Structure 1
């Protein structure tokens, strides 16, 4: 397995690609502030090359996420369209309606269920579980849900996870996401179902959006996936046969970026340990 090639900026790759599928959290913002250089790079690619489809594991449908990006000063010129795991997950929820669901997650994620005929129930009465993340991601961890998840696993309930991320960076802190609860559920013998990265449904939606923006079929050899997450961004792109630019200074920044910048040896080792590959690597997304 070859090591990713270090690049100094997106400009080096622009002639090779027509479309970017770009991760959001960790690449263009950290949950507290946006990264101006990354936003400028995406805006320039969009203006000079082709569509930029943001592809996020946010567990809500995209409209409130667009508002969040606005509040973080991510310019709308930086992207053509935003596709979220919430968008893809609503299809899974609709397939199970009408029904009773144990909803796990903070109130801000409730737009995920808008207009879908589902009744809220506890773990002992629900037909299935739907997880967007912990109820309080500042204080809780997966182990806090262990006993309730054991009950659901014993009842052989499906768990739909609207955010497959294990952790994301919020400022300088890593917080648990829905994927951490789904991981625990599977370890307890339960079945988790997901539509976000690295799974197929969100990529189908993103590539369809790219085709609409291009006005023609997408040449998959000219699609570049940009992301910082090995189990989500890189694994998802690898499974689809799409090229990858790994942005190291995201959730793996503590390991991969030091005083001298990107540590290519450590990046290559991480990829090898996970059985993954990236074509390119950069510390932070810039033009």
Structure 2
């Protein structure tokens, strides 16, 4: 692993891609911002595929991959930029599928209900539930984790575990940051509630990625041949570091304000940020380009 808390800045992925056979790329903050796609990032991934690299999108979206594909189409994310998608929503589905008949209380927007399609689960109110299944806030435009303080207390009193289908705490939506399910899970854990958190930075989703790469290539995969790309320190970077993967850090994402100018981040501030989190990267770049 070539990660360092003092990574060099690169102009484009072409400077380092020859060292890797596989690209494991985050979605939100790297290839789109929740409103529109980033054409240069998509071009970079397409060029990697044209050069024989396998490209997986790994996202903490709390939805099935088909729904994410539909979102990509709406945002203008070209499906030719990747070979396959892995989502934390699929990991949550696997968890629930292993517990047929479980009674769940859903917390999140109505659009996320597709995560339960085809599963043997029963929707219940708080009092009748065995599990809180959280895909996000009911309304991330008006609510914050503090909105749920009373609910957290009730759930803890009932001994309800919280299944978090999206470990991200915040994501970009256009030029704004919005709260995600990971922030609710963090707050619930903070009062002693039991949480089950799936997706990045946790090991199982990286094991799924390794298996998917092996399927795509028809043989074993060396973790040293994988380059992870992401913008979020506690999910993308920490997860990749913990799994032993090199990382390309995209700085013009959710932490952009920490580094000065979005398009021209200050190297000393990038290094200080990484030192403070104890996370390394092979290199950094403001936006993903080739």
TM-score (norm 2): 0.96
Between the aligned partners of 1:142 and 1:123, the Cα distance in structure 2 is 18
Listed as ranges, the matches of 1:54-69 within 5 Å are 54-69=57-72
For residue 133 of structure 1, the aligned residue among 123, 130, 136 is 136
Matching of residue 13 in structure 1 with residue 16 in structure 2: yes
Deviations 1:94-119 (A, max 9, x none): 23331211100001111111122221
Which residue of structure 1 lines up, in the alignment, with residue 35 of structure 2?
Answer: 32
Pairwise CA RMSD = 1.2
After the TM superposition, which parts of structure 1 deviate over 3 Å for at least 4 consecutive aligned residues?
A: none
> 2:97 & 2:259 partners in 1: Cα distance?
41
The question of 1:156 aligning with 2:154 is answered no
Q: CA deviation at 1:262?
A: 2.2
Sort the Cα spacing of 1:257 and 1:37 in 2 relative to 1 into closer, same or farther, 3 A. farther
Match of 1:204 among 203, 207, 212: 207
Shift of 1:259: 6.8
Q: Distance in 1 between matches of 2:24 and 2:133?
A: 26
Give 2:249's match in structure 1, choosing from 246, 250, 257.
246
- How far apart are the structure 2 equivalents of 1:119 and 1:209? 31
2:229 pairs with one of 206, 226, 238: 226
Contact 1:226 1:244 in 2 (8 A): yes
What do residues 170-205 of structure 1 show as CA deviations (whole Å, max 9, x unaligned)?
000100000000000000101111220001121111
What is the CA–CA distance in structure 2 between the aligned matches of 1:50 and 1:249, rounded to whole Å? Answer: 25
> Residue 167 of structure 1 corresponds to which residue in structure 2?
170
Q: Which runs of 5+ in 2 are unaligned?
A: none
Encode CA deviations 1:67-98: one digit per residue, 9 max, x unaligned.
Answer: 11111111111101011000111111123331
Q: Relative to structure 2, which stretch is displaced further, 267-276 or 79-88? A: 267-276
Cα contact 2:108–2:137 (8 A) shared by 1: yes
Cα shift at 1:21: 0.4
Matched residue of 1:261: which SS?
A: coil
Q: Any stretches of 5+ residues in structure 1 without a counterpart?
A: none
SS of the equivalent of 1:284 reads coil
Provide the aligned length of Structure 1 versus Structure 2.
287
Deviations 1:216-250 (A, max 9, x none): 21111110000000000001001101101000001
Deviation at 1:257, TM superposition (A): 4.6
Q: In structure 2, how many angstroms separate the alpha carbons of the residues matched to 1:277 and 1:165?
A: 19
Are residues 1:106 and 2:114 paired? no
Write the deviation string for residues 48-81 of structure 1: whole angstroms up to 9, x where unpaired: 1311100000000100111111111111111010
SS in 1 for 2:143: coil
- Do 1:94 and 1:116's aligned partners in 2 also have CA atoms closer than 8 Å? yes
- The CA distance in 2 between the partners of 1:28 and 1:152, in whole Å, is 36
Distance in 2 (alpha carbons) for counterparts of 1:277 and 1:39: 25
